[in-house]
Structure 1
Amino acid sequence: MKEVKSYKSIQTLSQLVLYLGFVVLYCGCLDLHSETKPDRQFQQSVYLLDRYYFWSSEEIKDPNSIPDNVWRKLEPNQLGLYPQENQFLYIKFSDQFVRQLKSPVLSIGIALEQFKLFQGSELVFESKLQDHIFPYIIPLNQNPSGTLILQFQSRYKSFIGMDREVYFKDHSQALIDLFLNNFSETFFAPILLILSILFLGFYFLRKKEIIFFNFSILLFSASLIEVLNGFVGFSLSQFSDFVVPLTYFNFAFFPFALLLFLIGIFPPFFRNLFKILAALHLIVFFISLVNNYENGISFLNSENDYDWIIVFEGIVAIFSSVYVLIKGNKNLRTITLGLLVIVIGGLHDILVDLELLNYGVRLIHYSFFLMLLLFGFYVFKHYWELLHSISRMNTELRNKNKELQRLIQIDKDLALANALQKSLLSSKYNEDEKIKIIGFSQNLESVGGDYFDHTKDSMGNWAILMADVSGHGISSAMVAAMSKMAFVGAGAYLQFPSRVFHSMNRHLVGKTKNLFITASYVFIDTESYTATFSNAGHPGFFLIRNSESDVIHLNVKGKPLGLFSHLPYDEETVKLQSGDKILLYTDGIFDLLNEVGQSFGEERLKSLLWDNRYQKFQDFAKVIQDSLFKFSVGWKYQMDDLSFLLVEIK
């Protein structure tokens, strides 16, 4: 009897926490969208400015030359227009606000189509991404030219124009706002992923309980929805060819996963009804993809075509939930409440998107978490009842199994952390007609503080970064992730190494908790065959040129990142030649020991590079890696994380 009372008390406590969670979410919803909230950003909104539009059958190279008398004024709350076939849409508004900002940008909350941005007669930005759903932060000239003009040519059949959230902001503030606005999604995504793995583990422990498997799938899809959002989506924009399709497929998959979850719970009649809906959902989705295959699938038009099936599914779910509630099925009360919450929130936002309701509070995010909270409560309750039914004779074994699960989960978490950290690194091999790059990294522990990045700009030039966070392990890996985000945020200044480090340092100071980052950065101009470089307390890098008498060590002075604010960073430029090789590295190579305690050292590395300078590029990189491996007897005497990047100029 005591155990039963304990179970009931825990259930009562869980219900109390659930209701409190609902109140917090509801109050948070009211607070975030309250009309009394300080409206700092809204005062910078483009929608406070007069906006004008103009249709053209031909692309105009200098939209600033369009006569004033042909522009037509947009309504104050009008977002855009209905597309016209083979027509370009131009929208202009004043850029006078930029003079009030130190580093002005145009922050666009979501951009669904390709566009160009002109400041006066100057083209300052061109989007080449299709079906793009992530934010843009576009640097502007600080001296206003009078107007900003957006040029659109959309393949989206239902809409052409701007988003609801278009602001003038300072560059650093835009990044901070973007991160803060999406902090909850970014924070909850890994939690949902871990919960998904946890419930998948529950399923394998009790394979007859399909509810755990279905809920695991639902949580996994939810984690993707949350992580491929806002700030993270912005950071992964260079991988848009992969991220955008994944995002849209997952948007369509989540209602399907929800139906699978409900199939395993509801009574037989509704179970069969949901099976029919699930099959119909897949059929309509794939038909919509086929119908919208225009120079590659148009996901936006596809989504527009299968919205009706989601609305229909929502209506059926509402009636099913109401029926179950009326019949008084207490076991399904929590599930039906969660279902009603997500369906009503989703229907509300779809009707807002269809402009059948006025734009106001968006409910889907709050409904989303409240639904998962209710569903999670139901599944945990179900699992708790299973545990409660186990005989006392299995108590000790169950405790040991729980401990084993905990250790397995820790291993999975470490593996996940290792995989997430590897995502910081650029691909280990890259090549174009001007350059070859090979990278290598070996952490001392599961995760470490070394990372490298190499990215190609629109002009074909290369930006290459090698960074090393002090220490090693999880804390260093977290700071490495922060510095990676800071480097992404400095993307507008890639051709200016000193400005890249200045921007990164400004974002990192005060946030690294006494850890610091050393880094070496090289910008290679493939047209002029020059390398401009800067340094932040790093060992520098080596230039291997066959015509020279020795390896050339290149370095400039600079303090590590994250320690002191307002630090200057110097930069220098060196002329490159065809066949030149560049090695960027971390000092973990120098600290590598052999079995008698000798360190690898700088001179040994220089000798290795010089003796093998005539090797083919990939063989050269393999020689370096094998030499380090053999010297430390299979990394047995590795003392720190180590990494290197080898670059060859064609």
Structure 2
Amino acid sequence: MKEVKPYISILVPIQFVLFFLLIFSIQNCFDLHSESKQEIQLQQSIYLIDRYYYWSSEEIFDPETIQESKWIPISDKTLGFKKREKEYLYIKFSDQFIRQLQSPILFAEIALETFKVFQGKENVYISKEFDFIFPHLIPLSPEPKGFIYIQFQSRYKNFIGLDRDVIFKNHTKALIDLFMENLSKTFFSPILLVLSFIFMGFYFLRRKELIFLNFSILLLSASLIEVLNGFVGFSLRQYAFYLVPITFINFTFFPFAFLLFLISVFPPFFKKVFKFIAILHIFVFLTSIVRNYDLGVSFLNSEEDYNWIVVLEAIVAILSSIYVFLKGNRQIREIILGILVIVSAGLHDTLVDLEILHYQIRFIHYGFFLMLGFFGYYVFKHYWELLHSINRMNTELRTKNKELQRLIQIDKDLALAHALQKSLLSSKYNEDDKIRIIGFSQNLESVGGDYFDHTKDSMGNWAFLIADVSGHGISSAMVAAMSKMAFVGAGPYLQFPARVFHLMNRHLVGKTKNLFITASYLFIDTESYTATFSNAGHPSFYLIRNTEKDVIQLTAKGKPLGLFSQQSYAEDTVGIKPKDKILLYTDGIFDLLNEYGESFGEDRLKSLLWEYRYYNIQDLSSILQDSLFRFSNGWKHQMDDLSFLLIEIK
């Protein structure tokens, strides 16, 4: 995989871009209502000069029939009124300013209920949509009729009337202004949608990274809010029956998606808090829908019921963010800043909807834009670090692959060494008409330093050697092979044990690299029934005779092979009888441990041999092997190579 450059050099310009976007958003906030003087005058003619209202219990088909004395002036900056059950609200204002316009329209940014518009006596517009939050462009006659009358009938229980901007404009300019005001939303939405699919792909590539899935869902919801809350939503107003539910459900879903994202990045305690709030959010929303079902499913009525949960979510998110920020968790500082921006903007606008704060400007779009910038930066950084971790993993994988190849080659070499060592050693079973032999070997590793050998001379006599190279593993196995060759070289002197060790030692001194060999050698004369033996620093061997009272221990003094060039070895002779058994072994048997750390030991070995002295050699060998195996719990506590050679005189 291609190496990724250090991400610090890329994150610096991204931080600069975020800073630029912040300045740009703040500037846009100040310029939000920077219209021309003419537009300001036209807006003032509706808000500040000649607005009047009238309540009626019956529908009036010609508002000009309402007596002038019954019209009540509307105070400055009043947007609307509290609804009265089974009453119609009528509002009038002058249309004299349309003289300055070629193709006048009445631009009403939001009207939440069904309404009719009259210019003089003429009914020029009828709106039948409920919960419709998109602008209305109402064509008017270029000749003033005196007054514009609007009749309202609402199922929205908290508000009736016009909301926000109500302005006279030229029709073409109104469309251009609407498009330009929503330009960023219109073109930002496809970018969010593409990013949503990209991060969804990241999630499927790395199933364990839930942050990618949650961020993808958040981006998708944000994309729908941006595209449907602007010029595109207005252009699709003929599909309001489908568009309005999608828009309001997404308004409700966005805080839930926001909570899911917080759950994936905040510390464990806050994860639990946000999970609880997310469940509560869904419960309150569904409950509010059911409560207002008798009015028809009104999303705006439902919104009034669950605005308090949005305020609660905002307060908890702000407090949690401040706490985490003060604790110095630098890894998610971008998330904290994004949370504080969007939550503060959303809290402000929600408090405006609840009429706790006075309406001046809505911050949600700008907070939303900056939040996505901070969140996107965090996820990008997270992904970039992920790429670096993948690079590191690939590098480690290549290193481990090389190591694995090396280990495989070592295993092959060990297997070959094991086969070679096996070919050098004598068979584990042999016999003639006077001797029966059984051998056993259990290496600590695949190859070891223990070995035994037995050979027969031309007279029918037998020579036996058991040896133990210090240490274990490949180096010990190599020295064991060298000692085997040295033993073969001493073949002409098999009947002289001391001479055999002398020749082997002379051959091995200076060649074993600080390793040494202990060994026991036994020569059995089958004609005279005598056994001559010698010892080179090795444990004694045992003679098991049924007529004796105990196992006979046989030894002769001598130092290990390969250490000293001038070294002599003693030898001794003992008579043997038919049915005698002789055991040669290595000290790995004594060093064998059980699960409690106890060693098998010499006494346990002698006791075992004496207990089963009447058994034939095959059964005795099996009992000895099984006892060693069970004692060490399946060789789990083996500390060294171990071997034995069991000989029976027929």
Give the TM interval when normalised to the shorter protein: 0.5 to 0.7
Q: Which letter does structure 1 place at the counterpart of 2:313? A: E
Report how far residue 301 of structure 1 moved.
Answer: 0.4
CA spacing shift, 1:112–1:334, aligned 2, 3 Å: same
Choose 246-255 or 140-149, whichever is displaced more: 140-149
Question: What is the letter of the counterpart of residue 389 of structure 1?
Answer: S
Greater mean deviation of Cα atoms: 345-354 or 219-228:
345-354
* Alpha-carbon distance in 2 for matches of 1:195, 1:209: 16
Amino acid at match of 1:76: D
1:119, 1:148 within 8 Å by CA — same for their partners in 2? yes
Residue 360 of structure 1 pairs with residue 360 of structure 2 = yes
Q: Which residue of 1 aligns with 2:221?
A: 221
Query: 1:50, 1:76 within 8 Å by CA — same for their partners in 2?
Result: no
* Structure 1 stretch displaced more, 154-163 or 311-320: 154-163
Counterpart in the other structure of 1:201? 201
Secondary structure of the 2:111 match is: coil
- Pairwise mapping of residues 154-553 of structure 1 onto structure 2 (< 5 A)? 154-391=154-391
- The residue aligned with 2:122 is 122
Give the residue type in structure 2 aligned to 1:42: I
Q: Displacement, 1:392?
A: 6.9
Q: How far apart are residue 5 of structure 1 and its match?
A: 7.4
Secondary structure of the 2:110 match is: coil
Which residue pairs with 1:41 in the alignment?
A: 39
- Indicate if the aligned counterparts of 2:155 and 2:295 stay in contact, CA closer than 8 A: no
User: What are the Cα deviations for residues 1-35 of structure 1, in whole angstroms up to 9, with x where unaligned?
Assistant: x979732222223222222222222233223356x
- Native 8 Å contact 2:117 2:125 kept in 1: yes
Give the partner amino acid of 1:239.
Answer: Y
Distance 1:82 1:270, change over 3 A: same
- Aligned-residue offset at 1:165: 0.4
Distance, in Å, in 2 between the alignment partners of 1:147 and 1:18 is 49
* TM-score of the two chains, using structure 1 as the length reference: 0.59
Contact 2:111 2:161 in 1 (8 A): no
* Equivalence map 1:582-597=2 (5 Å): none
- Cα distance change, pair 5–125 in 1 and its aligned pair in 2 (3 A): closer
The one-letter code sitting in structure 2 at the alignment partner of 1:341 is V
Read off the aligned partner of 2:41 and give its amino acid letter: Q
Amino acid at match of 2:14: S
Matches of 2:382 and 2:392 in 1, distance apart?
Answer: 19
The amino acid across from 1:339 in the alignment is I
Structure 1: gaps spanning 5 or more residues: 398-650
Deviation at 1:40, TM superposition (A): 4.0
| 1:165 aligned counterpart, secondary structure | strand
**Is the 8 Å Cα contact of residues 116 and 123 (structure 1) preserved in structure 2?**
yes
Counterpart of 2:204 in structure 1: which amino acid? F
Residues 498-532 of structure 1, C-alpha deviations (whole Å, 9 max, x = no match): xxxxxxxxxxxxxxxxxxxxxxxxxxxxxxxxxxx
Contact 2:325 2:333 in 1 (8 A): yes
CA positional deviation for 1:229: 1.6
Which digits, 9 at most, give the CA deviation of each residue in 1:340-389, with x for residues without a partner? Answer: 10011111112222232222232111100100000000000000001011
Is contact 2:193-2:220 (8 Å) kept?
Answer: yes
Match of 2:416 in 1: none
Q: Distance in 2 between matches of 1:146 and 1:230?
A: 32
CA distance in 2 between partners of 1:110 and 1:234 (Å) = 11
Q: 1:172 to 1:378 in 2, by over 3 A?
A: same
Whole-angstrom distance in 2 between the partners of 1:351 and 1:368: 17
- 1:247 is displaced (CA, Å) by 0.2
2:95 is the alignment partner of 1:75 = no
Per-residue deviation, 1:181: 1.0
**CA distance in 2 between partners of 1:259 and 1:359 (Å):** 27
What is the total number of aligned residue pairs between the two structures?
393
| 1:140 equivalent in structure 2 | 140
- CA separation of 1:51/1:393 partners in 2, compared to 1, >3 Å: closer, same or farther? closer
Equivalent-residue separation in structure 1 for 2:102 and 2:17 (angstroms): 46
Deviations 1:83-129 (A, max 9, x none): 11100000011111122211111011112110001111111111111
1:230-280 residue CA offsets vs partner (Å, 9 max, x unmatched): 311111111001000000000000000000011011011100000000000
Give the conservation status (yes or no) of the 8 Å contact 1:203–1:210.
yes
SS in 1 for 2:221: helix
User: C-alpha separation between the residues in 1 aligned to 2:342 and 2:194?
Assistant: 22
Partner Cα distance (1:39, 1:284) in 2: 46
Query: Looking at CA atoms only, which structure, 1 or 2, has the larger radius of gyration?
Result: 2
- C-alpha contact (below 8 Å) 2:48/2:77 kept by paired residues: no
Q: Name the counterpart of 2:486.
A: none
Give the whole-Å Cα distance in 2 for the aligned partners of 1:143 and 1:331.
Answer: 64
CA distance in 2, matches of 1:254, 1:95: 41
In the TM superposition, residue 211 of structure 1 has moved relative to its aligned partner by 0.4
> Cα deviation per residue 1:41-90 (whole Å; 9 max; x = unaligned)?
22211214311111000001111100001111100211111111100000
Contact (CA 8 Å) 2:90, 2:149: kept in 1 or not?
A: yes
Deviations 1:390-421, CA, capped at 9 Å, x for gaps: 237959x9xxxxxxxxxxxxxxxxxxxxxxxx
Read off the aligned partner of 1:43 and give its amino acid letter. Answer: Q
Partner amino acid, structure 1, of 2:232: V
Paired position in structure 2 for 1:64: 64
How far 1:39 sits from its partner (Å)? 4.1
Instruction: Give the match's secondary structure for 1:41.
Output: helix
Q: Deviations over 1:584-627 (max 9, x none)?
A: xxxxxxxxxxxxxxxxxxxxxxxxxxxxxxxxxxxxxxxxxxxx
Distance, in Å, in 2 between the alignment partners of 1:304 and 1:40 is: 36
Aligned pair in 2 of structure 1 residues 5, 184: CA closer, same or farther (>3 Å)?
closer
Amino acid at match of 2:13: L
Structure 2 equivalent of residue 28 of structure 1: 28
Could you say what the CA RMSD is over the residues aligned between the two structures, in angstroms?
Answer: 1.9
Q: What are the residue-to-residue correspondences of 1:98-117 with 2, within 5 Å? A: 98-117=98-117
Aligned-partner Cα distance in 2 for 1:109–1:204:
42
Q: Identity over the aligned pairs, expressed in percent?
A: 62
Q: CA deviation at 1:184?
A: 0.8
- Code of the residue aligned with 2:42 in structure 1: it is Q
Q: What is aligned with 2:428? A: none
Q: Given residue 268 of structure 2, which amino acid in structure 1 is its aligned partner? A: P
TM-superposed deviation, 1:313: 0.3
**Segment of structure 1 superposing worse, 188-197 or 6-15:** 6-15
Contact 1:135 1:230 in 2 (8 A): no
Corresponding residue for 2:86?
A: 86
2:359 and 2:280 mapped to 1: Cα distance? 31
In the alignment, the residues of structure 2 paired with residue 93 and residue 8 of structure 1 have an alpha-carbon distance, to the nearest angstrom, of 60
Q: Which runs of 5+ in 2 are unaligned?
A: 398-650
Amino acid at match of 1:215: F
